[in-house]
Structure 1
Amino acid sequence: MCQLQPTYTSPTQSSQLFKTHEPSPPLGLSPTRPRIFAPTANSPPPPCSPSTMATALGSLPSASSSPTTAPSIPANATLGRHLARRLAEVGARDVFTVPGDFNLTLLDELEAEQPSGGGVRLVGCCNELNAAYAADGYARAGRGVGACAVTFTVGGLSAINAVAGAFSENLPLVCVVGGPNSNDYGSNRVLHHTIGLPDFSQELRCFQNVTCYQAVVNNLEDAHEQIDTAISTALKESKPVYISISCNLPSIPHPTFSRHPVPFFLSPRLSNQMSLEAAVEAAAAFLNKSVKPVLVGGPKMRVAKACKSFVEMADASGYPIAVMPSAKGLVPEHHSRFIGTYWGAVSTPFCAEIVESADAYLFAGPIFNDYSSVGYSLLIKKEKAIIVQPDRVVIGNGPAFGCILMKDFFHALASRLKKNTTAYENYSRIFVPQGEPISSDTGEPLRVNVLFKHVQTMLSGSSAVISETGDSWFNCQKLKLPEGCGYEFQMQYGSIGWSVGATLGYAQAAKDKRVISFIGDGSFQVTAQEVSTMIRWAQNNIIFLINNGGYTIEVEIHDGPYNIIKNWNYTGVVEAFHNGEGKCYTAKVRTEEELKKAIEASLGPNKDCLCFIEVIVHKDDTSKELLEWGSRVSAANSRPPNPQ
């Protein structure tokens, strides 16, 4: 009789032991028959078999034990349910989906793992682009990661634009694609939803440039490992990942999914202490010898998780604080030494004068592109700058220090800086409070600056502002955010239409905030239908649709007849989406009086409704900042070719 020994079975071995079927052989090949051990009278006893092992752990096998049978696997031990549980574990309790024939079984399994049981909720979207935009917005709300699930190629390549935007903005996003049947890989077959070639890697190759990890799951043996690696990589790198799952696998029980998975644990990144000390010493000497230094926060403070330590350093040093436009909302604007947005020629009044006249400036996580630099026209000098990125520090034209975490650097530097309030005192001397726009006369057409005067009164700590690409960028920069008020916009990628899906995703994640979005009519026409999903999910967002008859930001860069769009009855479109189901309030406003009534209705009796306010303004009613910015960006775009 077989002697019992403690036995460890690896997941891969276990899956082989309990395998219930073999995949069909490739075309033209015969299946290989399994080898069967057939003992004879004089044969030695076989080694411990799976059945005797499994039985021995609980009780002794009887003399009449039946032939080997695989132990039962729980019905919920499927790939799809494992994915749902792992997404929920990292904060993605909502998955934004569009069904297609390759992901239907996967959606069944995700749907079966309900949030109450540690699973996810499926939020059906109108198209894949919007689903990925919603995952982007969800990730911005601080829930961990955003997730979307779409079908093969036609869905994935529709979503890839939004995934690229999340990559550029350093957002953790999981894009799950239902892929071909596992038996079709290597079969030389042509499938639908492809470009007509027997090659299933076209979509994968596209995603390789805009994701930090790609997993193609076409067998169950290592599916759990690939899924877990993808999700943990998204968290570690704060970038999107791509997971393709064969359509015939999500509902098959497998022993690797029946075990309690190891909780996600990201090993904390540590600064190199020698490098950190050297960087702090050099930076402190650089700043302490300056007369009027300033601090400027950038967008990469978010991914570096350094916003709090940045403010601590500002408190210790006494330096004034400015932010780059894409970092608005990362630094508290109620801080006593906050001086506004530094954006070159279109900065907050008196902010650029203080930053550009400083003899030293520390930029925390900046991105200097043509948009943030106003056509590369910033009046700053490298030799005066300390540039701090999430993992390195560069001081002037001199040394660069690597393997340093931004938050560690700020924390260590705070204790080495001498108090110096000179730059802020200079700001206080020249500062003149900004005036309010003149109130409109009765019946006078509404102006954009009057709109934002009233919007300012709507903001609170339970609000979040989402600004679409366009003139809303410049008008929203002027808003003074109360403590706790969220703020998001997509400056690096600047994809028009982003804000509609992002509003859906942000509101789905941040239930404690009321989202107030500002969208131009041209951008709205790209992604409008996702407002219907907001109504379906009972969101109470307030959307200001600014109708000025065209692509205004493009007009200011380069005008032409192609920037004029067909006017819609925007409130009529949203009422059609409403269709008597759910809660929705719409208003079309042309004057300040009508605007006041619409805002009162949105904050009062319709506070639980999706509120859509169409604001009709003159086509040339733009901010002065857009006029200046557009001319400088246009000049940068129209530079002649360099001589060959």
Structure 2
Amino acid sequence: MATETSAALQAEINRLQLEVSSLKAQQGTEQITVGNYLLARLEQLGVTSMFGVPGDFNLGFLDLVEDHPTINWVGNCNELNAAYAADGYARVKENSIGVITTTFGVGELSATNGIAGAFSEMVPVLHLVGVPSTPQQASKPMLHHTLGDGRFDAYEKAAKQFTFSQANLRDKNDAAAEIDRVLMDCITVARPVYISLPTDLVHTKISSTRLRIPLTRSLPLNDPQVESFVLGQIVKLFEEAKGDALVLVDACTIRHDVREELNDFLKKTGFPVYAAPMGKTAVDENYERYGGIYLGAISRPEIKEKVEAAKLVLSVGAVMSDYNTGNFSYNIPTKRTIELHSDHTRVQYAAFPDIGMKQLIPKLTERLVSYHTNASKLPVPKFISEIPREGDATITHMWLWPRMATFFKPKDVIVTETGTYNDCSSTSNFGIQDVALPEKSVLLSQVLWGSIGWSVGSLLGASIAAREVGLGRTILFVGDGSLQLTVQELSVMLRVGVKPIIFLINNSGYTVERYIHGKGRKYNDIINWGWTNLFKVFGDPDGKLSRTYTVRTKDDLSKLLEDKTFASADKIQLVEVMMDKLDAPRALKMQAELSGTTNAYAAVSSPVTVA
């Protein structure tokens, strides 16, 4: 508790010092270019890789990046993939951010879908855009990459819809302060931000004084009186429930950096803990008090029973989206729920703004440690998934995911394709939910935004970040439909030397959509590619950097998984896993049925009325 208070106080001191530095900035004797000032701040934030595509309005800045001693330029095949890569990088390299650099107009708009996904999923990403010079923006000539109507601000207006804050650098006198403001927002609220850098400001000299004061991600202190009242209300509810309570963790536990506080709470209080899909790996899934994934009506029966029967649920960092709640099928009454969030707390029906969980959880731990003896006796179902004995040699989802669980190792970074859009690989996002992952493993999935192809670009960023922070193998599960959208990034993976293992689920099209609507429709079909030849096309004609495999039976896959050379991940590897196009995990079938009912496509047309 004292540590959190000290951090918050130091953050406020740093903020005030930055304000004083702004007033003195023009008097500073040490000079630095605007471009290098930005790079210095990124270096302080732990950024060592930058993604993007070169364009004539950012080339001067990219010279600085290429010459930088610690920040590496990772060029991508297109801006959308670069945004996905920055997203994956930020998810794995915690307490840092992802950075994508694009050019004005055509480049930044191409990246927008990836930036919007990062906003939706609360991932800290900086979108840096090289833009025309300040004189050109003032005179508004008909430049290339413009709309031809003089609206040079159209793109930044669009960016405001998908980023938390923006800095449109125009004046060298406030450039440093604006850069700091936006980067502080990025690291404290865990959302994308936007900076436009004109070509003529890149090499303009400014004071470096502000760089002496580090940016901080600590949030303001909770109001002590309100916090004390909230703690009292929460403790009262635990007393009324007589300790019959459990914890349900979700995405914001990870995004807002409270896992350490939460794990201390769980250890000292002994309460059972479950996770929503977006919160998977927030808690060690081999922890004896961990019971698995709660997904409303789609949950395993034993999990559903325990969660919904608890007298009190402490929800930590919830994201109540459709695919994260079993199509809104949670059966936990508000009167039995306490919600902890990064910037507010809800106790039953009452909301308390600005009471954040980062500072609240340690204090709550102190108040509830006395429940450990009784709480640790509350039964928790074992979260295991046995490999079924199936007579058929065909690889099925029911068999695949428990079998894959035996292949995973501690510190693996596992990326699964979105479970919310029209791709066969959505099966991976649902299939992985039913198996326990090893200690210190990291799962990346895009449950809320659900952009098809996200996982491939994300894998690139995740692989680079995992290499930088000392994590283990990176493993991707992706379908044929998804990989067709963003396949170009395999060439970048070869170039930068990352060595992921890619399991390509080949089931001939968009399986999720088949279950939701149109099982036999042609729009859910795709053409089959020569998947095992991809690396030859993308830069490894002799197979020195890569290996590919096709497996058609359970025995084929098991033998490969048991091969030590394959498991060592010494090269980038792609495994084409042949599966039936209508096979899918249990949870996906249930979710698809719920989604189809919600969408309620009708075969009749509505009458047209004229007013």
Task: Please say whether Structure 1 and Structure 2 have the same fold, judged by a TM-score greater than 0.5.
Answer: yes
TM-superposed deviation, 1:447: 2.1
Pick aligned residue for 1:461 from 410, 415, 421: 410
The answer to whether the aligner puts 1:188 opposite 2:140 as a matched pair is yes
- Contact 1:447–1:617 (CA under 8 A) maintained in structure 2: yes
* Mean Cα deviation higher: 413-422 or 137-146: 413-422
Show the 5 A alignment for 1:87-236.
87-115=42-70, 120-141=71-92, 142-236=94-188
Write the letter of the residue equivalent to 2:64. E
Match of 2:220 in 1: 269
Structure having the higher Rg = 1
The answer to whether the aligner puts 1:361 opposite 2:322 as a matched pair is no
Structure 1 residues 86 and 165, CA gap change in structure 2 (3 angstroms): same
Write the letter of the residue equivalent to 1:454. R
Task: Measure, in 1, the Cα distance between the counterparts of 2:256 and 2:176.
Answer: 29
Task: Measure, in 2, the Cα distance between the counterparts of 1:165 and 1:521.
Answer: 21
Task: Measure, in 1, the Cα distance between the counterparts of 2:477 and 2:310.
Answer: 34
Structure 1 residues 616 and 273, CA gap change in structure 2 (3 angstroms): same
TM-score normalised by L of structure 2: 0.87
- Contact 1:350–1:427 (CA under 8 A) maintained in structure 2: no
Task: Measure, in 2, the Cα distance between the counterparts of 1:300 and 1:266.
Answer: 15
Match of 1:24 in 2: none
The answer to whether the aligner puts 1:488 opposite 2:488 as a matched pair is no
Match of 2:475 in 1: 516
Match of 2:528 in 1: 567
Task: Measure, in 2, the Cα distance between the counterparts of 1:626 and 1:98.
Answer: 36
- Contact 1:320–1:421 (CA under 8 A) maintained in structure 2: no
- Contact 1:320–1:338 (CA under 8 A) maintained in structure 2: yes
Structure 1 residues 585 and 9, CA gap change in structure 2 (3 angstroms): closer
Match of 1:549 in 2: 508
Show the 5 A alignment for 1:238-637.
238-250=190-202, 252-257=203-208, 261-266=212-217, 268-291=219-242, 292-397=244-349, 399-417=350-368, 418-419=370-371, 427=379, 434-438=385-389, 444-469=393-418, 470-511=426-467, 512=470, 513-559=472-518, 560-580=521-541, 583-601=545-563, 603-604=565-566, 607-637=569-599
TM-superposed deviation, 1:339: 0.6
RMSD: 2.7
Aligned residues: 568
What per-residue deviation string (whole Å, max 9, x for no partner) do you get for residues 408-452 of structure 1? 322222233352777876645x769643222565xx332233332
- Contact 1:545–1:614 (CA under 8 A) maintained in structure 2: yes
Q: Secondary structure at the match of 1:185?
A: helix
Q: Secondary structure at the match of 1:480?
A: coil
Task: Measure, in 2, the Cα distance between the counterparts of 1:481 and 1:9.
Answer: 48
Structure 1: state its 5+ residue gaps: 1-7, 16-53, 55-72
TM-score normalised by L of structure 1: 0.83
Q: Secondary structure at the match of 2:435?
A: coil
Match of 1:21 in 2: none
TM-superposed deviation, 1:316: 3.4
Task: Measure, in 1, the Cα distance between the counterparts of 2:326 and 2:112.
Answer: 28
Write the letter of the residue equivalent to 2:484. Q
- Contact 1:295–1:322 (CA under 8 A) maintained in structure 2: yes
Structure 2: state its 5+ residue gaps: 1-20, 419-425, 607-611
- Contact 1:517–1:542 (CA under 8 A) maintained in structure 2: yes
Task: Measure, in 2, the Cα distance between the counterparts of 1:137 and 1:285.
Answer: 41
Identity %: 33
Match of 1:39 in 2: none
What per-residue deviation string (whole Å, max 9, x for no partner) do you get for residues 248-297 of structure 1? 332x3514359865332455421111111111111111122115322111
Task: Measure, in 1, the Cα distance between the counterparts of 2:261 and 2:209.
Answer: 42
What per-residue deviation string (whole Å, max 9, x for no partner) do you get for residues 285-317 of structure 1? 112211532211111112332222223323333
Task: Measure, in 2, the Cα distance between the counterparts of 1:427 and 1:522.
Answer: 42
- Contact 2:268–2:365 (CA under 8 A) maintained in structure 1: yes
- Contact 1:81–1:112 (CA under 8 A) maintained in structure 2: no
Structure 1 residues 363 and 143, CA gap change in structure 2 (3 angstroms): closer
- Contact 1:296–1:362 (CA under 8 A) maintained in structure 2: yes
TM-superposed deviation, 1:139: 0.6
TM-superposed deviation, 1:240: 0.9
Match of 2:14 in 1: none
TM-superposed deviation, 1:358: 1.7
Task: Measure, in 2, the Cα distance between the counterparts of 1:606 and 1:341.
Answer: 29
Task: Measure, in 2, the Cα distance between the counterparts of 1:236 and 1:572.
Answer: 44
Q: Secondary structure at the match of 2:414?
A: strand
Q: Secondary structure at the match of 1:361?
A: strand
- Contact 2:25–2:210 (CA under 8 A) maintained in structure 1: no
Q: Secondary structure at the match of 2:138?
A: coil
TM-superposed deviation, 1:566: 1.5
Structure 1 residues 123 and 433, CA gap change in structure 2 (3 angstroms): closer
Structure 1 residues 269 and 567, CA gap change in structure 2 (3 angstroms): same
Structure 1 residues 263 and 359, CA gap change in structure 2 (3 angstroms): closer
Structure 1 residues 233 and 563, CA gap change in structure 2 (3 angstroms): same
Write the letter of the residue equivalent to 1:514. R
Structure 1 residues 605 and 599, CA gap change in structure 2 (3 angstroms): closer
Task: Measure, in 2, the Cα distance between the counterparts of 1:342 and 1:267.
Answer: 31
Write the letter of the residue equivalent to 1:345. A
Task: Measure, in 2, the Cα distance between the counterparts of 1:605 and 1:423.
Answer: 40
- Contact 1:147–1:176 (CA under 8 A) maintained in structure 2: yes
Choose between structure 1 and 2: higher helix proportion: 2
Task: Measure, in 2, the Cα distance between the counterparts of 1:235 and 1:226.
Answer: 15
What per-residue deviation string (whole Å, max 9, x for no partner) do you get for residues 388-421 of structure 1? 2222222223x33232221332222223335277
Structure 1 residues 157 and 618, CA gap change in structure 2 (3 angstroms): same
Structure 1 residues 490 and 217, CA gap change in structure 2 (3 angstroms): same
Q: Secondary structure at the match of 1:566?
A: coil
What per-residue deviation string (whole Å, max 9, x for no partner) do you get for residues 564-586 of structure 1? 11211122223311333761111
Q: Secondary structure at the match of 1:150?
A: strand
Task: Measure, in 1, the Cα distance between the counterparts of 2:248 and 2:443.
Answer: 18
Q: Secondary structure at the match of 1:140?
A: helix
